[in-house]
Amino acid sequence: MKELLELYWVFCKMGAVCFGGGYAMLPIIEAEIVEKKGWAKKEEIMDYYAIGQCTPGVIAVNTSTFIGNKRAGIPGAIAATAGFVTPSIIIIMIISSLLQNFAHITFVERAFSGIRICVAVLIINATVKLWKSAVKDKTGLVICIIVFVLSAFTPLSPVIFIACSGIAGYFIGKWKGAEK
Protein backbone atom coordinates (compact mmCIF):
# COMPACT_ATOMS: atom_id res chain seq x y z
CA MET A 1 0.00 0.00 0.00
CA LYS A 2 2.88 2.36 0.77
CA GLU A 3 4.32 1.91 -2.72
CA LEU A 4 0.90 2.57 -4.29
CA LEU A 5 0.52 5.78 -2.31
CA GLU A 6 4.03 6.84 -3.33
CA LEU A 7 3.21 6.16 -7.00
CA TYR A 8 -0.01 8.14 -6.67
CA TRP A 9 1.73 11.09 -4.98
CA VAL A 10 4.72 11.23 -7.37
CA PHE A 11 2.45 11.21 -10.42
CA CYS A 12 0.01 13.61 -8.78
CA LYS A 13 2.86 16.12 -8.36
CA MET A 14 3.90 15.66 -11.98
CA GLY A 15 0.32 15.94 -13.20
CA ALA A 16 -0.06 19.22 -11.33
CA VAL A 17 2.82 20.86 -13.21
CA CYS A 18 2.58 19.15 -16.60
CA PHE A 19 1.25 21.71 -19.04
CA GLY A 20 1.35 21.21 -22.76
CA GLY A 21 0.88 17.49 -23.08
CA GLY A 22 3.05 14.42 -22.95
CA TYR A 23 6.08 15.76 -24.80
CA ALA A 24 6.36 18.67 -22.41
CA MET A 25 6.26 16.14 -19.58
CA LEU A 26 9.38 14.26 -20.73
CA PRO A 27 11.91 16.41 -18.84
CA ILE A 28 9.78 16.15 -15.70
CA ILE A 29 9.52 12.35 -15.99
CA GLU A 30 13.25 12.05 -16.59
CA ALA A 31 14.08 14.16 -13.56
CA GLU A 32 11.63 12.44 -11.22
CA ILE A 33 11.40 8.83 -12.43
CA VAL A 34 14.84 8.24 -13.97
CA GLU A 35 17.19 10.48 -11.98
CA LYS A 36 15.50 10.93 -8.59
CA LYS A 37 13.57 7.69 -8.05
CA GLY A 38 15.49 5.33 -10.36
CA TRP A 39 12.25 3.57 -11.27
CA ALA A 40 13.09 3.35 -14.98
CA LYS A 41 15.95 3.97 -17.37
CA LYS A 42 15.95 6.74 -19.96
CA GLU A 43 15.62 4.17 -22.75
CA GLU A 44 12.57 2.62 -21.07
CA ILE A 45 10.90 6.03 -20.87
CA MET A 46 11.49 6.48 -24.60
CA ASP A 47 9.95 3.07 -25.24
CA TYR A 48 6.94 3.97 -23.09
CA TYR A 49 6.57 7.21 -25.04
CA ALA A 50 6.68 5.33 -28.35
CA ILE A 51 4.08 2.83 -27.18
CA GLY A 52 2.03 5.63 -25.63
CA GLN A 53 1.96 7.35 -29.02
CA CYS A 54 0.52 4.20 -30.63
CA THR A 55 -2.10 3.44 -28.01
CA PRO A 56 -5.37 5.27 -27.46
CA GLY A 57 -5.24 8.10 -24.95
CA VAL A 58 -2.87 10.78 -23.82
CA ILE A 59 0.86 9.98 -24.03
CA ALA A 60 1.59 11.30 -20.54
CA VAL A 61 -1.21 9.25 -18.99
CA ASN A 62 -0.18 6.13 -20.90
CA THR A 63 3.42 6.60 -19.79
CA SER A 64 2.29 6.96 -16.18
CA THR A 65 0.34 3.74 -16.55
CA PHE A 66 3.35 1.86 -17.95
CA ILE A 67 5.66 3.06 -15.18
CA GLY A 68 3.09 2.27 -12.48
CA ASN A 69 2.62 -1.20 -13.96
CA LYS A 70 6.37 -1.78 -13.99
CA ARG A 71 6.62 -0.78 -10.31
CA ALA A 72 3.59 -2.55 -8.84
CA GLY A 73 1.58 -4.38 -11.50
CA ILE A 74 -2.02 -3.45 -12.24
CA PRO A 75 -2.60 -1.73 -8.87
CA GLY A 76 0.51 0.37 -9.55
CA ALA A 77 -0.76 1.25 -13.03
CA ILE A 78 -4.06 2.38 -11.54
CA ALA A 79 -2.38 4.39 -8.77
CA ALA A 80 0.04 6.15 -11.14
CA THR A 81 -2.67 6.92 -13.67
CA ALA A 82 -5.09 8.18 -11.02
CA GLY A 83 -2.33 10.29 -9.52
CA PHE A 84 -1.45 11.85 -12.85
CA VAL A 85 -5.03 12.72 -13.86
CA THR A 86 -6.30 13.95 -10.46
CA PRO A 87 -4.75 17.45 -10.69
CA SER A 88 -5.88 17.80 -14.31
CA ILE A 89 -9.46 16.98 -13.44
CA ILE A 90 -9.47 19.48 -10.58
CA ILE A 91 -7.73 22.21 -12.60
CA ILE A 92 -9.99 21.70 -15.64
CA MET A 93 -13.11 21.89 -13.49
CA ILE A 94 -11.92 25.16 -11.93
CA ILE A 95 -10.77 26.69 -15.21
CA SER A 96 -13.88 25.69 -17.13
CA SER A 97 -16.08 27.27 -14.50
CA LEU A 98 -14.07 30.52 -14.62
CA LEU A 99 -12.82 30.74 -18.22
CA GLN A 100 -16.08 31.97 -19.71
CA ASN A 101 -15.95 34.96 -17.43
CA PHE A 102 -12.28 35.87 -18.02
CA ALA A 103 -11.21 34.60 -21.48
CA HIS A 104 -11.86 37.96 -23.16
CA ILE A 105 -9.69 39.91 -20.70
CA THR A 106 -6.49 41.13 -22.36
CA PHE A 107 -4.30 39.97 -19.47
CA VAL A 108 -5.66 36.41 -19.73
CA GLU A 109 -5.26 36.35 -23.53
CA ARG A 110 -1.65 37.53 -23.23
CA ALA A 111 -0.91 35.07 -20.44
CA PHE A 112 -2.15 32.17 -22.58
CA SER A 113 -0.01 33.47 -25.44
CA GLY A 114 3.06 33.30 -23.20
CA ILE A 115 2.12 29.85 -21.90
CA ARG A 116 1.86 28.51 -25.48
CA ILE A 117 5.41 29.76 -26.19
CA CYS A 118 6.70 28.09 -23.03
CA VAL A 119 5.04 24.80 -23.98
CA ALA A 120 6.61 24.96 -27.45
CA VAL A 121 10.06 25.43 -25.85
CA LEU A 122 9.45 22.49 -23.49
CA ILE A 123 8.51 20.30 -26.46
CA ILE A 124 11.66 21.38 -28.33
CA ASN A 125 13.74 20.59 -25.23
CA ALA A 126 12.16 17.12 -24.99
CA THR A 127 12.82 16.57 -28.70
CA VAL A 128 16.50 17.48 -28.33
CA LYS A 129 16.86 15.11 -25.37
CA LEU A 130 15.14 12.29 -27.28
CA TRP A 131 17.34 13.02 -30.31
CA LYS A 132 20.56 12.76 -28.28
CA SER A 133 19.65 9.40 -26.80
CA ALA A 134 17.86 7.88 -29.82
CA VAL A 135 19.91 8.82 -32.89
CA LYS A 136 23.18 7.03 -32.25
CA ASP A 137 24.41 6.16 -35.73
CA LYS A 138 23.88 6.78 -39.46
CA THR A 139 21.05 4.25 -39.60
CA GLY A 140 19.19 6.04 -36.84
CA LEU A 141 19.76 9.36 -38.61
CA VAL A 142 18.36 7.98 -41.89
CA ILE A 143 15.28 6.56 -40.15
CA CYS A 144 14.83 9.86 -38.32
CA ILE A 145 15.02 11.94 -41.51
CA ILE A 146 12.63 9.67 -43.41
CA VAL A 147 10.07 9.70 -40.59
CA PHE A 148 10.43 13.46 -40.14
CA VAL A 149 9.84 14.17 -43.84
CA LEU A 150 6.93 11.74 -44.11
CA SER A 151 5.30 13.03 -40.92
CA ALA A 152 5.67 16.63 -42.06
CA PHE A 153 4.30 16.11 -45.57
CA THR A 154 1.85 13.19 -45.37
CA PRO A 155 -1.24 12.50 -43.29
CA LEU A 156 0.02 9.07 -42.22
CA SER A 157 -0.69 7.94 -38.67
CA PRO A 158 2.14 7.95 -36.09
CA VAL A 159 1.33 4.27 -35.57
CA ILE A 160 2.53 3.55 -39.10
CA PHE A 161 5.78 5.46 -38.53
CA ILE A 162 6.50 3.65 -35.28
CA ALA A 163 5.65 0.21 -36.68
CA CYS A 164 7.72 0.73 -39.84
CA SER A 165 10.64 2.19 -37.87
CA GLY A 166 10.57 -0.79 -35.53
CA ILE A 167 10.54 -3.23 -38.44
CA ALA A 168 13.33 -1.31 -40.20
CA GLY A 169 15.39 -1.20 -37.01
CA TYR A 170 14.96 -4.94 -36.53
CA PHE A 171 15.97 -5.89 -40.06
CA ILE A 172 18.84 -3.40 -40.28
CA GLY A 173 20.16 -4.65 -36.93
CA LYS A 174 19.82 -8.23 -38.12
CA TRP A 175 21.60 -7.37 -41.39
CA LYS A 176 24.40 -5.56 -39.53
CA GLY A 177 24.74 -8.52 -37.16
CA ALA A 178 25.07 -10.90 -40.13
CA GLU A 179 27.87 -8.74 -41.57
CA LYS A 180 30.00 -9.13 -38.47
pLDDT score, position 12: 93
pLDDT band at 180 (very low <50, low <70, confident <90, very high): low
Percentage helix, strand, coil for the chain under 3-state DSSP, each rounded to 5? 85, 0, 15
Amino acid at 36: K
Q: pLDDT tens digit string along 38-81?
A: 998 888 888 888 788 777 778 888 888 999 999 999 999 999 99
pLDDT score, position 22: 65
Residue ranges per structural domain of the chain: 2-133, 135-180
Alpha-carbon span 134 to 142, nearest angstrom: 12
Supply the pTM of this predicted model: 0.60
Q: pLDDT tens digit string along 115-152?
A: 889 888 888 887 888 788 788 888 889 999 999 999 99
pLDDT score, position 97: 81
pLDDT score, position 100: 75
Angle at 58 between CA 145 and CA 157, to 5 degrees: 40
pLDDT score, position 177: 74
pLDDT score, position 77: 95
pLDDT score, position 129: 80
Task: Fill in the DSSP letter of residue 38.
Answer: -
Q: Does the pLDDT of residue 179 top 80, yes or no?
A: no
Average pLDDT, the chain: 86
